[in-house]
């Protein structure tokens, strides 16, 4: 009887399993498909009357029809996209009617055991004519205004627009003095109030730098401010007065940051003088390219993008209509465009007006996993208004004109339905961004809360690695309780922009935690401002920074511009090129608690900026200058500093790192830091996790080494 019961139970389980499998609907998409077919077959039948679908859009539309049939969709749906290329001239849009449910989620995923399917908007440029050291191709759609682009890829690699002056290194990283032109002071214009003001749209150049070139109407001027660049189109030039007027203004008047402000010119045919450069002439409808050694029209594929975006999840959160329970797995999304229009481009911070190639509005419970998003002109992914409980996991976002990931909006949500929060960015490789719009961020969190950014590798951006919060001063903010942990953030800034950080925070942010991150090689441009490893700016309040390791920054391992009651505890700050710990604005409340940290340096420069009003708490820290010089605390010796009430239990001693010359900052057992209660940090826990093929991927990146102090 007992045996019969067990057998019956097994039979019930088997039946339940069979039912679950049977309830799963599978559709196929293939380059061999036809959107008029059912999609139930993975290969066309012999009569060519049925087979797979041809496009993701076709699969989406088939599911819409199936939902309208009696019974609808009662179980999970898998849309298997087979290996191959799928061209789209416009974004693939999913609306609330395309949603799945918790019981019947819908997944668009790569077919098992096949290469990633490539969904792209790349158009091949053909018909090249060799003219000396240049190739020329006619593009009628450009001449008629139907097509515009700001990037090309040659055999899969992004090529730089023709630039003058030429950059010493690719994409202008770690620039040298001759990489730029410099302004010759400001231009005064009427201010509309009977006086004068410095112009934000007329630039004064030095004699001989610029000419009335025939190609100037196609050129783009890239002007460097502090934490942003502005990109300008030319309205007119006056060679005699040494002025050039742009079609649109910069966010700040020219020379705001310094009197000889930096700039260069791109997409100038007269500047096409280096292999790998290219130039687009709109009125002619022609693209020019100077090939690299060994390239011929026969062995070279040149691609420019058509669509600005590839996938849109387009809910209506203000109306309570969401795109729910969709998954995208194993897809390769590439070639999207963000051309610089006739008015140019100018943002005041973080390239906040750029769209994303994969953009989600009102998305709930959606998953993007094992995907590649890259070779694009804008941001990679954006969880916008109303996006909650979504996950980006184990994805690579690379070769980005803008940044990698954005969460939330610049303003507070107007209703509960429009709140963005509780999203997760996990185990992703986010790299090579800001290649056109340099002020872009690796991961940006705006007015959004309860998000988690963990175990990512974020590197090779031209501004900050992360930005958390979007509120200036002590105004109420809806950005709080964000967790940033176990991320490996490095090689950002690259000498191009300033006032930046490996992690940069703004505003009141209770419950926000930055912990166990490994941050290194944060190198700003030294001319305008600075770059720090961890930077609490603009009223950052109630933020916890713990168990982080920060190495080799231009201007400080930690900097607080202004804020209140932040806690900086159990961190290692090592080898800033200038001061190590910076405190800028003095206020009448407590700035921060700085406790149980190790500060390790080699230049005699410990504390920077303002420490005179005493509104901070510091204790149980270990300080060590490798030169053996006794530290100075804002002009005081340790004894004088302690007599003033600070660092009562702190020590000056060698922390006894295992091998600091090779960046092994583990502590030897006899380290005096351990006696102060310092808890060891293992930086190997930061960054990607999983199989070796994934975790070793960042080691394949090629870059110029950051300068060391």
Using one digit for the tens of pLDDT, what is the confidence trace for 648-691?
Answer: 999 999 999 999 999 999 999 999 999 999 999 999 999 999 99
pLDDT tens-place string over residues 172-203: 999 999 999 999 999 999 999 999 999 999 99
Average pLDDT over residues 488-501: 98
Per-residue pLDDT band at 23 (split at 50, 70, 90): confident
Contact 180, 205 (CB under 8 A): no
> Is 513 in contact with 544 (CB distance < 8 Å)?
yes
Mean pLDDT, to the nearest integer, of 501-525?
A: 97
Q: Provide the terminal-to-terminal Cα distance of the chain, rounded to the nearest Å.
A: 80
Task: Kindly report, as residue ranges, where domains of CATH 2.160.20 are found in the chain.
Answer: 372-695
> What is the reported pLDDT for 517?
98
The Cα–Cα gap between 181 and 210 comes to 9
Q: What are the pLDDT digits (tens) for 360-387? A: 999 999 999 999 999 999 999 999 999 9
pLDDT band with cut points at 50, 70 and 90 for residue 476: confident
**Does residue 6 surpass a pLDDT of 70?**
no
Select from 303, 452, 448 the least CA-distant residue to 385: 448
The share of the chain scoring above pLDDT 90, in percent, equals 95
Q: How far apart are CA 495 and CA 527, in angstroms?
A: 9
The reported pLDDT for the residue numbered 475 is 87
Question: What span, in angstroms and rounded, lies between the C-alpha atoms of 519 and 521?
Answer: 7
Q: Residue 304 corresponds to which tokens in the numbers above? A: 């420019």
Average pLDDT over residues 569-578: 98
Whether domain 372-695 has CATH 2.160.20: the reply is yes
Instruction: Quote the pLDDT of residue 5.
Output: 42
User: In the predicted model, is pLDDT for residue 355 greater than 70?
Assistant: yes
Rounded average pLDDT over 115-138: 98
The answer to whether residue 12 scores a pLDDT higher than 50 is: no
Q: Yes or no: say if 442 and 508 are a contact pair by the CB < 8 Å rule.
A: no
- Cite the DSSP H helix spans in 178-294: none
**49-91 pLDDT tens trace:** 999 999 999 999 999 999 999 988 999 999 999 999 999 999 9
Sign of the alpha-carbon dihedral angle for 110, 111, 116, 117? negative
Confidence class of residue 97 from pLDDT cuts 50, 70 and 90?
Answer: very high
What is the H or E stretch that residue 278 is in? Answer: strand 278-281
The whole-number pLDDT of residue 609 equals 98
Please report the pLDDT score of residue 243 as a whole number: 98
Q: Summarize the confidence of residues 394-416 as an average pLDDT.
A: 97
CA distances from 422 to 75, 386, 601 (A): 26, 11, 38
Task: Output the pLDDT for position 162.
Answer: 98
Instruction: Report d(CA 680, CA 225) in Å as an integer.
Output: 40
Contacts 24+ apart (CB under 8 A), 236-240: 237/210, 237/212, 239/210, 239/211, 239/212
Query: What predicted TM-score, i.e. pTM, was given to this entire model?
Result: 0.96
Grouping H, G, I as helix, E, B as strand and the rest as coil, residue 651 is: strand
Find the mean pLDDT for residues 97-115: 97
51-55, 191-195, 415-419, 600-604: least confidently modelled range: 191-195
Instruction: Give the whole-number percent of the chain exceeding pLDDT 70.
Output: 97
Evaluated on CA atoms 162, 168, 174, 176, the torsion sign reads negative
Q: Name which of 453, 444, 433, 293 is nearest 377 in CA terms.
A: 433
Q: What is the pLDDT of residue 477?
A: 79
Q: Per residue in 279-329, pLDDT tens?
A: 999 999 999 999 999 999 999 999 999 999 999 999 999 999 999 999 999
According to the model, what pLDDT value does residue 10 have?
39
Mean pLDDT in residue range 327-337: 98
DSSP 143: H
Q: How far apart are CA 560 and CA 544, in angstroms?
A: 13
CA 130 from chain centre, in angstroms, equals 38
């Amino acid at each position: 009887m007992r045996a019969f019961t067990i057998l019956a139970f097994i039979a019930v389980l088997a039946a339940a399993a069979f039912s679950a499998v049977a309830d799963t609907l599978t559709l196929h998409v293939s380059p061999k498909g036809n959107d008029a077919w059912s999609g139930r077959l993975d290969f066309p039948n012999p009569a060519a009357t049925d087979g797979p679908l041809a496009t993701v859009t076709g699969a989406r539309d088939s599911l819409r029809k199936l939902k309208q049939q009696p019974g609808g969709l009662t179980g999970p749906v898998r849309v298997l996209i087979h290996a191959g290329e799928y061209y789209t001239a416009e974004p693939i849009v999913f609306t609330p009617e395309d949603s799945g449910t918790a019981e019947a989620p819908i997944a668009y995923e790569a077919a098992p055991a096949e290469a990633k399917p490539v969904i792209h908007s790349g158009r091949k440029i053909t018909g090249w004519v060799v003219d000396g050291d240049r190739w020329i191709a006619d593009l009628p759609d450009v001449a008629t205004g139907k097509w515009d682009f700001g990037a090309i890829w040659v055999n899969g690699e992004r090529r730089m627009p023709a630039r003058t002056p030429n950059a010493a290194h690719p994409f202008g990283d770690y620039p040298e003095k001759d990489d730029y032109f410099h302004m010759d002071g400001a231009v005064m214009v009427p201010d509309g109030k009977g006086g004068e003001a410095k112009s934000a749209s007329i630039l004064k150049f030095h004699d001989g730098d610029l000419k009335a070139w025939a190609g100037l109407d196609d050129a783009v001027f890239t002007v460097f401010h502090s934490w942003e660049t502005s990109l300008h189109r030319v309205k007119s030039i006056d060679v005699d007065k040494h002025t050039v007027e742009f079609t649109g203004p910069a966010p700040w008047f020219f020379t705001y940051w310094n009197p000889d402000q930096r700039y260069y010119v791109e997409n100038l045919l007269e500047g096409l003088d280096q292999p790998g450069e290219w130039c687009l002439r709109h009125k002619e409808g022609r693209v020019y390219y100077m090939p690299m050694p060994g390239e011929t029209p026969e062995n070279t594929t040149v691609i420019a993008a058509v669509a600005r975006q590839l996938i849109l999840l387009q809910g209506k959160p203000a109306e309570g209509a969401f795109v729910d329970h969709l998954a995208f797995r194993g897809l390769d999304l590439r070639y999207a465009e963000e051309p610089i229009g006739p008015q140019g481009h100018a943002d005041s911070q973080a390239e906040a007006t750029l769209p994303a190639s994969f953009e989600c509005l009102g998305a709930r419970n959606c998953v993007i996993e094992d995907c590649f998003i890259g070779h694009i002109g804008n941001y990679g992914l954006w969880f916008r208004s109303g996006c909650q409980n979504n996950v980006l996991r184990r994805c690579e976002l690379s070769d980005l004109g803008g940044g990698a990931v954005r969460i939330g909006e610049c303003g507070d949500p107007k209703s509960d339905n429009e709140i963005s929060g509780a999203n997760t960015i996990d185990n992703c490789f986010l790299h090579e961004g800001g290649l056109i719009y340099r002020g872009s961020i690796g991961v940006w969190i705006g007015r959004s809360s309860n998000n988690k950014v963990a175990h990512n590798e974020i590197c090779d951006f031209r501004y900050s690695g992360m930005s958390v919060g979007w509120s200036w001063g002590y105004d109420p903010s809806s950005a709080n309780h964000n967790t940033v942990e176990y991320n490996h953030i490095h090689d950002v800034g690259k000498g191009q922009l300033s006032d930046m950080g490996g992690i940069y925070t703004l505003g009141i942010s209770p419950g926000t935690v930055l912990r166990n991150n490994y941050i290194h090689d944060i190198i700003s441009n030294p001319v305008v401002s600075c770059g720090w490893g961890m930077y609490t700016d603009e009223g950052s309040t109630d933020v916890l920074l713990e168990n982080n390791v920060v190495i080799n920054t231009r201007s400080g391992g930690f900097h607080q511009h202004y804020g209140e009651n932040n806690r900086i505890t159990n961190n290692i700050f090592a080898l800033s090129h200038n001061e190590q710990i910076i405190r800028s604005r003095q206020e009448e409340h407590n700035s921060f608690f700085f406790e149980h940290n190790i500060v390790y340096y080699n230049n005699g420069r410990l504390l920077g900026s303002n420490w005179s009003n005493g509104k901070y708490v510091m204790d149980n820290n270990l300080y060590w200058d490798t030169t053996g010089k006794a530290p100075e605390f804002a002009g005081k010796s340790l004894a004088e500093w302690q007599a003033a009430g600070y660092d009562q239990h702190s020590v000056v001693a060698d922390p006894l790192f295992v091998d600091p010359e090779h960046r092994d900052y583990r502590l030897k057992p006899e380290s005096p830091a351990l006696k102060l209660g310092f808890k060891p940090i293992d930086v190997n826990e930061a960054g990607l996790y999983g199989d070796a093929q994934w975790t070793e991927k960042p080691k394949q990146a090629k870059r110029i080494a950051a300068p060391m102090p």
